[in-house]
Amino acid sequence: MARTVVPSETNPARFPSILLACALAASACGSASTPSRPNVLFISIDTLRADQLGTYGCERATSPRIDAFATGAVVFEDVTASAPWTLPAMASLFTSTYTTTNGCWGYGSRLDDSFTTLTELLLAHGYDTACVVSHLFCTTRHGLQQGFVHFDDTFAYPKVDPDRARTADVIADGGIDFLERKAAVDDGRPWLLWLHFFDPHSDYMEAPGFTEHFLDPTHDALQHQLDLYDGEIAATDHEVGRVLDALEEAGLAEETIVVLVADHGEEFLEHGGTGHGATLFSEVTRIPMILRAPGIAPTRITAQVRSIDLLPTLLDLLELPTPSQAAGATLVPLFTGEPSGMRRTALIETRMSPLARLEGVREGRWKLVRPLGGAPMLYDLSEDPGETTDVAGEHPEEVLRLTETLETLLEEAHTRAEDFEHAPEEALPPSIQEQFSGLGYVGEDP
């Protein structure tokens, strides 16, 4: 059931200006005016590999609406997620922190209230904040509601509770309703709307009107799964297009930053496994990230960037300060031509299960992955983009250098973590465990 949450989790003591900023922003709002700052439409799509979108090279017609949107936007071609599953990945996107800092390791984790989210930062500067989401990890149980005045986190897995299932059309309807209401009010108050589309997540189901374009009776079992996956991407793409159309029809597009991003990707036996969360290979850690902002010319960025860079980038575009907790850095210089000498080395981590406890770094052509307590593996992405051959034995100097880099990044993340509280892991009730099992999250909690 949809609900309104008053953001009591927002702590004025750690963000002293929050009440004053809200009061000033409210008093400054006219009855019919352009927002003092752009609105933000934040679209996240679950389990979406970058290479399954046309704008990232997919030859199948999975994403005509997203591809069209990308032609007028900044497309980041090489984005590394901080984690290969939803909760830590979304916590990183909203706080610009790595998992070692935010502590979202397991199914029962919760982002602690001591962290400041993008939503809280915008609320403190007078934004109305709302979201419509569809994932068990995006609920109030896991802490991502911080700063949202309107938080609709109803979720039910279709095969467990089909009557309450939240498919992409339902999420889009909720987003469109919000946009129409904001256009009707026209009070000059900027807003943040987060929509999280779940559909591409396993297990993959037929999306009528879309899946049939990809199915072929001659395809083997693996390709059939890919066909279903692509069908769900296409269905989500259609609903994203409806939201973008509604933004235009409401007259809000010219004053709104739109970002489209995935939390993580998905494996299809490239390295012997399926799903996500248990490895750090590119099929689960390379994500799409596309940004359209008023006054910013369309371009494509080939430089390696990180998901943790999104929050500082949005704040830079909004001319707001970035909090000290942020491990990322603004990407604005990359698409405005300003000098930027920052090396954007990415830290990637997972503890999805006792057998999947990995940490790694990605820096340019090299990627180092180290099992906790084990020997590191090294991949040369320029020669082996599929990460099929461990070349650690051939390049010991790179292993040493990147291991030192990994240790430095982990130490920095641990140091940042000391400034925050960390909510204890909580046991999941049976009803939630049933939903998780239906989604493929089985076995011992990390």
Residue 322: predicted pLDDT: 96
Tokens (6 digits) for 167: 């498919």
346-359: per-residue pLDDT in tens? 999 998 766 678 99
On the question of pLDDT at 57 being above 80, the answer is yes
Element (H, E) at 150: strand 150-152
On the question of pLDDT at 28 being above 60, the answer is no
Residue 230: predicted pLDDT: 96
Q: Which residue has the tokens 């949450």?
A: 5
Residue 344 vs residue 309, higher pLDDT: 309
Domains of the chain, earliest start first: 39-345 (3.40.720.10), 350-411 (3.30.1120.10)
Residue 5: predicted pLDDT: 35
Residue 122: predicted pLDDT: 97
Q: Are 43 and 290 a contacting pair, CB within 8 Å?
A: no
Residues 429-436 have a mean pLDDT of 60
On the question of pLDDT at 442 being above 70, the answer is no
User: Nearest 5°: phi and psi at 56?
Assistant: -110, 15
Q: Which residue has the tokens 């993959």?
A: 204
pTM of structure: 0.86
Residues in the chain: 446
Task: Round the average pLDDT of the chain to a whole number and report it.
Answer: 85
Q: In sequence order, which ranges of 250-331 are alpha helices (DSSP H)? A: 282-285, 310-317
Of all residues in the chain, what percent carry a pLDDT higher than 70?
A: 80
Q: How confident is the model at residue 152 (pLDDT cuts 50, 70, 90)?
A: confident
212-263: per-residue pLDDT in tens? 999 999 999 999 999 999 999 999 999 999 999 999 999 999 999 999 999 9
Peptide bond into 161 cis (omega under 30): no
Residues 27-45 have a mean pLDDT of 72
On the question of pLDDT at 101 being above 60, the answer is yes
Q: How confident is the model at residue 435 (pLDDT cuts 50, 70, 90)?
A: low
Residue 71 vs residue 188, higher pLDDT: 71
Tokens (6 digits) for 170: 């339902």
Q: Which residue has the tokens 């910013």?
A: 296
Q: How confident is the model at residue 265 (pLDDT cuts 50, 70, 90)?
A: very high
Residues 97-114 have a mean pLDDT of 84
190-200: per-residue pLDDT in tens? 999 999 998 88
372-392: per-residue pLDDT in tens? 888 999 999 999 999 999 999
